[in-house]
A and B are shown apart, each in its own frame.
Chain A
């Protein structure tokens, strides 16, 4: 672990060598934009269009693939088509047209969907971009029963507008950054000023700026480039496609982050237990929300431990099994030629194959795979003496339990950990199971996220947070923002007398 910390601190220390790009531009003095230079840059670009007008000498250039028809008509064709040269300066002095003095900015503007108008050795840009993308629909991976059914989309500005609509406050600050040496992907950091801790904001911004890769396409990709423990199996940033979830994180004093082209929002700092709460918990009565949350923690135990327990008990601890069950188990195990460890690994691998096949195939075929796998393989494997029927129950229930965890990434992580625990249980029995859990615990306790402990509020202990972590307390009692966010203003609501 200390190795990762060293690497991490190395990244932070070396930061001054890679200063902010925007600062870079202000310092650097580039040539003024020129028409010829622009044409040169965009040679061999099929969608690059230059347009001249019959009644004047202005020239407009833009990328047709990014331009919208209406915008083009409104800002380029309409105003310039029949205008004489002497009227042009008045038009170009208006608001949407912006004078540019830097050739780099000129190129960048064109690339981001603006049109650049060259007139008498001067360049003006105007935004005519037409956003291409799907409309807002519910996320397929994170569904709720009651609650808003919208989800983030690939378009950054659409995502930001969804958040702005929910949090109507001038305190909501949005910082724009760029990641990707070639892709120049927009990344934004969103936080509530005077609520979020500025140290976390600075650290996150610093981390994002220090990333030097050619491309970033997904928020889940970005978080792996900026997390504290790159070799940990655990996801260290909460990622979600739900606007309500991200907004509640922002209001809790956390920082959100978006990557253009990705429907996933990041929130930080993150604790391990956040992955077990779903927005649904807050939309139902608190008793139900609490029950569901506890159920998910139970599911967590089942999913990492049940098959492993089966292996350890059938291999080493026969005395733990109730007698009547033991006889059934012995009878069904009698036909199986493998020791329990091999048997369990085979079945777990089969389930993982099924799940992976289901995930790669179109939804409709995916369902068929589920039926084929569940019924045919399950039944036949027992009858053929390939596995015992209690193992099928163990494997199936731990697979089902893993899907109760709202975050897909966390549930995949836990399924991977399960294999390790099964091996430990097969080699050393319950002792091995406990050693495995212990190693896991030690590892989780060492993980940090933006320097905050992953196990908050368990370690460091903060019992007040438990009301909104392990259970979902009634709203009247949730007066404070989560301690992990180290909010500047931690009071959420007035205490009721």
Chain B
């Protein structure tokens, strides 16, 4: 008898308590892209969502002005016959004017909502982000696929830094490092990667131009399989392919005024194109070419680090290294951290090693 009652209760619990948070797929609209733009003279934001249709041949664009993104989602659901959900969100774009004001309060929900993937891409758009995701780019079937693939391939190639929800949150929360995000721009018929957006805390304050962004990647993380085109002073072009990069940042010195940052960047690659006059089958010339390339790399790296210090941003985590050299956390808390990072003496060392010079043999 007792067993019968408990079985009955179990079944009742199953039937009565469940089914409350059902999300049956054909009744849902999946947001793939979300764009956030600032609204003039207001604290509100314009939220635009791109929701692909089930037949993969079109999309809904929903746009609304709201205080937060979740509020906008409720507005969307009111006008759509499907429930709008964000579990399939792949990419979030911020217009540069909104990014300049700070993005964290709009990103809080992405971290809080367990349905949203940590691999969500984050990017800053030069101009209007909503317009960028509303447009269809003709040769590509859907805007959402186009944009996510574009970011993926560029990240793999090292052309833009790795920036997803996880890294962004980590760098934002971490003391002594600032987040970065790719910078993209709408063109007439396509979307272009135009560089790297530099953040100070959560505010977009500066950028790295597209031609230097790969060098930034070498500084920022370990890159494999990248290609780098180097122009030497006399107009010679060298294409270094299949690059494996190594980086090491180190702070030495005991007290803050003695501290010195050494940046060591090392590239290993193969020459795939060379338009200069040197005969590369000779060892001495090879050495010479390597040192030429190293000098060029050193110059760019120095420029970048100078720029970071000038703008008081810290995408490389220099602050973290200084913090680790300090006696205690209180000591680190007491100093002006931004000032410490921007005033530290920097020594750059760049090494380029060529693995092979290609099949061309001159005599």
Closest chain A residue, CB of each to CB of B90: A323
A318 with B56: in contact, given A326-B25, A427-B15, A432-B18 (CB under 8 Å)?
A: no
Decide: A323 near B23, CB < 8 A? Known: A427-B14, A428-B18: no
Check A319 for interface membership: any CB of B closer than 8 A. Answer: yes
CA–CA, A334 to B26, complex, Å? 6
Chain B residues with a Cβ closer than 8 Å to the other chain, count: 24
A317 CB to nearest B CB, Å: 8
B30 interface contact, C-beta 8 A:
yes
Asked whether A330 lies within 8 Å of B26 as measured between CB atoms, the reply is yes
| A318 CA to B22 CA, complexed, in Å | 10
Say yes or no for B117: interface residue by CB 8 A criterion.
yes
If A318-B30, A318-B87, A333-B25 touch, whether A327 touches B56 (CB-CB below 8 Å) is: yes
Closest B residue, CB atoms, query A329:
B25
- Is residue A449 contacting chain B, with contact meaning CB distance below 8 A? no
B86 CB, min distance to chain A CBs, angstroms: 9
User: Could you tell me if B88 and A314 are in contact, using CB atoms closer than 8 angstroms?
Assistant: no
List the B side residues contacting A85 at CB < 8 Å. none
Known: A318-B87, A327-B54, A427-B18. A333 touches B117 (CB 8 A): no
Say whether A4 faces chain B, with CB atoms less than 8 Å apart.
no
In A421-440, the 8 Å CB interface with B consists of: 423-424, 427-428, 432
**Nearest CB on A from B118, distance (A):** 12
CB within 8 A of B25: which of A330, A423, A428?
Answer: A330
> With A and B bound together, what is the CA distance between A65 and B304 in angstroms?
104
- With an 8 A cutoff between CB atoms, is B278 at the interface? no
Interface residues of B in 3-18 (CB under 8 A from A): 14-15, 18
Q: Are B32 and A334 in contact (CB under 8 A)?
A: no
**Chain B min CB distance to A318 (Å):** 5
A residues in contact with B184, CB < 8 Å: none
CB-based A-B contact count at 8 angstroms: 61
Given known contacts A323-B88, A326-B30, A314 and B115 CB-to-CB distance under 8 angstroms: no
Asked whether A273 is an interface residue with its Cβ less than 8 Å from the other chain, the reply is: no
Of B15, B32, B55, B90, chain A has the most CB atoms within 10 Å of the CB of: B55
* A331 touches B (CB below 8 Å): yes
A339 in the interface (beta carbon within 8 A)? yes
Residue of B nearest to A336 (CB): B26
Other-chain contact of B24, A315, A323, A326, A327 (Cβ < 8 Å): A315
* A340-B88 CB under 8 A given contacts A319-B117, A323-B30: no
**B25 and A314 contact, CB distance less than 8 A:** yes
**Does B95 sit within 8 A of A, measured CB to CB?**
no
Give complex CA distance A331, B54 in Å. Answer: 5
Q: What residues on A are CB-neighbors of B90 within 8 Å?
A: 323
Which A residues touch B117, using CB under 8 A?
Answer: 319
Tell whether A283 is near chain B: CB-to-CB under 8 Å: no
Does residue A316 face the partner (Cβ distance < 8 Å to B)? Answer: yes
The size bracket of the interface on A is: 20 to 34
Q: Which residues 408-465 of A sit at the B interface, judged by CB distance below 8 A?
A: 423-424, 427-428, 432
Whether B19 is near chain A, meaning CB under 8 Å from some CB there, is yes
The distance from the CB of B34 to the nearest CB of chain A, in whole angstroms, is: 15
Q: Which residues of A contact B21 (CB under 8 A)?
A: 316
Residue contact A318 to B54, C-beta cutoff 8 Å: no
Complex alpha-carbon distance, A346 and B15, angstroms: 19
- Asked, given contacts A323-B30, A330-B54, A339-B24, whether A318 binds B88 with beta carbons under 8 Å apart, the answer is yes
Which B113-127 residues have a C-beta within 8 angstroms of A? 115-117
* Contact B23–A318 (Cβ < 8 Å): yes
Which of B14, B24, B54 is within 8 Å of A428, CB to CB?
B14
B85 within 8 A of A: yes
CA distance A316 to B28 in the complex (A): 11
Tell me, rounded to whole Å, the shortest Cβ–Cβ distance linking B112 to chain A: 15
Tell me which of A327, A340, A424 has the highest count of chain B C-beta atoms within 10 A of its own C-beta.
Answer: A327
In the bound assembly, the distance between CA atoms of A432 and B18 in angstroms comes to 10
Residue in chain B with minimal CB distance to A333: B26
B323-342 interface (Cβ within 8 A of A): none
A319–B88 touching, CB < 8 Å: yes
**Any A CB within 8 A of the CB of B52:** yes
Chain B residue nearest to A331 (CB atoms) is B54
Partner of B54, one of A317, A334, A340, A427: A334
Inside 8 A of A333's CB, which chain B residues have their CB? 24-26
**Which residues from A are CB-within-8-Å of B32?**
323
> Which residues from A are CB-within-8-Å of B23?
315-318
Which single residue of chain B is at the shortest CB-CB distance from A330? B54
- Render A294-333 as a binary contact track against B, CB cut-off 8 A, 1 for contact: 0000000000000000000011111101011011011101
B19-A326 in contact (CB<8A): no
| B residues 40-92 touching A (CB-CB < 8 Å) | 52, 54-56, 85, 87-88, 90
A319 pairs with B115, CB closer than 8 A: yes
* CB proximity of A350 to chain B, nearest CB, Å: 21
Nearest CB in chain A: distance from B360 CB, A:
43
Q: Is the CB of A427 within 8 A of B19?
A: yes
Q: Are A319 and B24 CB-contacts (below 8 A) given A327-B52, A327-B56?
A: no
Q: How far is the CA of A427 from the CA of B13 in the complex (A)?
A: 10
Give the Cβ gap from B197 to chain A, nearest Cβ, in Å. Answer: 26
Q: Tell me, in angstroms, the Cα distance from A331 to B18 when the chains sit together.
A: 26
B270 shortest CB reach to chain A, Å: 36
Q: Which residues of B have CB within 8 Å of A327?
A: 52, 54-56
Chain A: minimal CB distance from B82 (Å):
10
* Contact assessment for B88 and A316 in the assembled complex, using a CB-CB cutoff below 8 Å: no
B15 cross-chain contacts in A, Cβ below 8 A: 427
B55 CB contacts on chain A under 8 angstroms: 327, 331
- Residues from chain A with Cβ under 8 Å of B56 in the complex: 324, 327
Find chain A residues with CB under 8 A from B52 CB: 327
The minimal Cβ–Cβ distance linking B7 to chain A, given in whole angstroms, is 12
Residues of A within 8 A of B85 (CB): 318-319
Q: Once the chains bind, are A315 and B30 in contact (CB under 8 Å)? A: no
Give Cα A339 to B54, complex, Å: 18
Task: Determine the chain A residues whose CB is within 8 A of the CB of B54 once the complex forms.
Answer: 327, 330-331, 334
Q: Which residue of A lies closest to B55 (CB)?
A: A331
Q: A326-B30, A428-B18, A432-B18 are in contact. Are A319 and B87 (CB under 8 A)?
A: yes
A-B contact pairs, 12 of them (CB 8 A): A315-B22, A315-B23, A316-B22, A316-B23, A319-B116, A323-B88, A326-B25, A326-B30, A330-B54, A339-B22, A427-B15, A427-B19
* Additional 17 contacts, C-beta under 8 A, given A323-B90, A339-B22, A427-B15: A315-B22, A315-B24, A316-B21, A316-B22, A316-B23, A319-B87, A319-B88, A319-B117, A323-B88, A327-B55, A331-B54, A331-B55, A334-B26, A336-B26, A340-B24, A423-B14, A427-B14
CB-CB nearest 4 A-B residue pairs: A319-B87, A427-B18, A331-B54, A333-B26
Interface of A toward B, CB cutoff 8 Å: 314-319, 321, 323-324, 326-327, 329-331, 333-334, 336, 339-340, 423-424, 427-428, 432
